[in-house]
Every structure is written in structure tokens, then in C-alpha cells.
Amino acid sequence: MIASSLAHDWRATALQFRFALFTMGMMKLAIKGLRDPDLVHPPAALAAIEARTRAMGFDLASETRTGALLRALAASKPGGRLLELGTGTGVATAWILSGMDAHATLTSVDISSAHQHVAREFLGHDTRLTLVLEDGHQFLKRQPEASYDFVFADAMPGKYEGMEDCLRIVKHGGFYIVDDLIPQVKWPEGHAEKVPVLIEHLAGDGRFAIAPLYWATGVIVAVRR
Ligand SMILES: C[S@@+](CC[C@H](N)C(=O)[O-])C[C@H]1O[C@@H](n2cnc3c(N)ncnc32)[C@H](O)[C@@H]1O
């Protein structure tokens, strides 16, 4: 009797062990699959832009997972008016353009001609794109209320400065997107204190429904109600 009960316990334990191994294997496969950069088919111009970006030592470009998210959100706005604040060298610009349809337009603003020059060289032929060389806050002040379907705020203006001038230009149903919210060693002195203020500000703004994403460098997608 005791021997048969022991054998039964042993069989149950072995079964549980095999099930745990199977679950772990499946989880590993799923995580590996989700992290596979080939899944997202980067835009054609990206490799050349990233090579130039590395060569010039610019380390503020968006990463692949941010790009893939931006592209998916851009694809949800056929015929939309899209805006990027902080062109940089055009990494996120390339991702956003690759999600947009033929009737959508993207304006991308940067204060640095050296950075934006790279975007112009690789993406300037795309007639849907307008590159503006200007201070982002000056640009924002001129924009009419509720005039953009998608705003990727990736410079100080519109994110840490003049945020209201940026939030007011988002259309109902439109996106306001910010990234770089998870602490990074390259952050300049004093920046770490600004991030929670930004997050709380957005979370407390009843005009927007927010999705805080522990994704890439940390992203918030805020949708204007
Ligand atoms: C984080 S990088 C942008 C990266 C780019 N969006 C990407 O995903 O690859 C920030 C950019 O903001 C630009 N910038 C800094 N101050 C600015 C200002 N006052 N107005 C507009 N652009 C500004 C910088 O020149 C820099 O290219």
C-alpha cells in the first residue's frame, strides 16, 4: 500500500516536472521570437542611416523596438498629419514613413542642421516628408489647435519644455508619444528628476488615455480623447 502510494507521488512529481520544463521551453521560444529583430522588417533606408549615425557618434537615435511601435501607430493614421519633434539623423523618421500610407504627411523638426542633414540625404526624396530646421518650441507655437494625428515628441520642446503647446495640437483620437523614460547612464545631470514629473503630468491629464509601456527605452502612448 505504502509502496503504491510512493510510486503514485513519484509519477505525479515527474509529470509536474515535465510540464514545468515544457512551459519554460515555450516561454523561452516566445521571448526569443518577440525579440527577433527580423520579425519587424526594418525600413530599407535604416541600415545606411544607422551606419552614418554611428560614424558621427550620435547616440540619441531611437532603437528598433521604438521604431517598430512608431511604425505600427503611424500605419493606423491613413491620410494623417504626423509630426516628429527632434529629427536627429532620421532613424525614427524612417520608421514612421515606412508605416504611413501614400496620402499621409510627416513634418520633422530639428534645431541642428548637422543632424537633420543625414535625414535629408537618405529620406529627403520622399515627398510625404517635410524637414523643418527650427527650434521645436517656436514651431509648436505656430501650429493650430488639434491639427496633428500623431506627435512623436523626441526633443526637449514638446516634452520637457512647452508641453502644453504640444498637447493642444493633438487631434481627438490622435497620439502623443514619448520615449526614453527608463533611466539611462547617458542621461545628463538633472534629467532623471524631470522624467517622473513628465509621467505624472501625462497620467493626470484627463484629456488623454495613456498606455505606459515598459518597452524599448520606456514609452508612453497617450491618446487624445
Ligand atoms: C533624441 S534626438 C532625436 C532622435 C530621433 N527622433 C530618432 O528617433 O532617431 C533629439 C534631437 O532633438 C534636437 N533638438 C535639441 N533641441 C532642440 C530644439 N530646441 N528644437 C528642435 N530640436 C531640438 C537635437 O538636435 C537632436 O537631434
* 46 and 30 in a common domain: no
Ligand 1 near 50 CB (within 6 A):
no
* 29 and 60 in a common domain: no
Provide the residue count of the chain: 225
Q: Which ligand 1 atom sits nearest the alpha carbon of residue 62?
A: 8
* 215 and 152 in a common domain: yes
Ligand 1 near 80 CB (within 6 A):
no
Which residue has its alpha carbon closest to ligand 1 atom 11? 86
Cell numbers found for residue 124? 529627403
Given a contact cutoff of 8 angstroms between Cβ atoms, the answer to whether 80 and 102 are in contact is no
pLDDT given for residue 20 in this prediction: 81
* Residue 19: domain span: 2-35
Which residue has its alpha carbon closest to ligand 1 atom 1? 60
* 176 and 120 in a common domain: yes
pLDDT given for residue 2 in this prediction: 63
Strands 208-213 and 170-178: unpaired
Ligand 1 near 67 CB (within 6 A):
no
Q: Where are the beta strands (DSSP E) in 62-194?
A: 81-85, 105-110, 129-133, 148-153, 170-178
* 214 and 142 in a common domain: yes
CA triple 177-106-125, angle to 5 deg: 135
Ligand 1 near 43 CB (within 6 A):
no
* 130 and 63 in a common domain: yes
Cell numbers found for residue 45? 533606408
Which residue has its alpha carbon closest to ligand 1 atom 27? 88
Q: Which ligand 1 atom sits nearest the alpha carbon of residue 67?
A: 8
Cα-based distances in Å from 104 to 75, 129, 130, 195, 225: 9, 9, 12, 31, 21
* 196 and 114 in a common domain: yes
pLDDT given for residue 12 in this prediction: 81
- What's the chain's Rg over C-alpha atoms? 22
pLDDT tens across the length of the chain (225 residues): 566 676 778 788 888 888 888 777 777 777 776 777 778 899 999 999 999 999 999 999 999 999 999 999 999 999 999 999 999 999 999 999 999 999 999 999 999 999 999 999 999 999 999 999 999 999 999 999 999 999 999 999 999 999 999 999 999 999 999 999 999 998 989 999 999 999 999 999 999 999 999 999 999 999 999
Cα separation, 130 vs 153, whole angstroms? 16
Ligand 1 near 213 CB (within 6 A):
no
How many domains does the structure of the chain reveal?
A: 2
* 96 and 30 in a common domain: no
pLDDT given for residue 3 in this prediction: 65
* 59 and 31 in a common domain: no
* 102 and 12 in a common domain: no
Q: Which pTM was predicted?
A: 0.89
Read off the CATH number of the domain in which 142 is found: 3.40.50.150
pLDDT given for residue 23 in this prediction: 78
pLDDT given for residue 10 in this prediction: 79
What is the strand order of the sheet 129-133 is part of?
A: 129-133, 105-110, 81-85, 148-153, 170-178, 219-224, 208-213
Ligand 1 near 156 CB (within 6 A):
yes
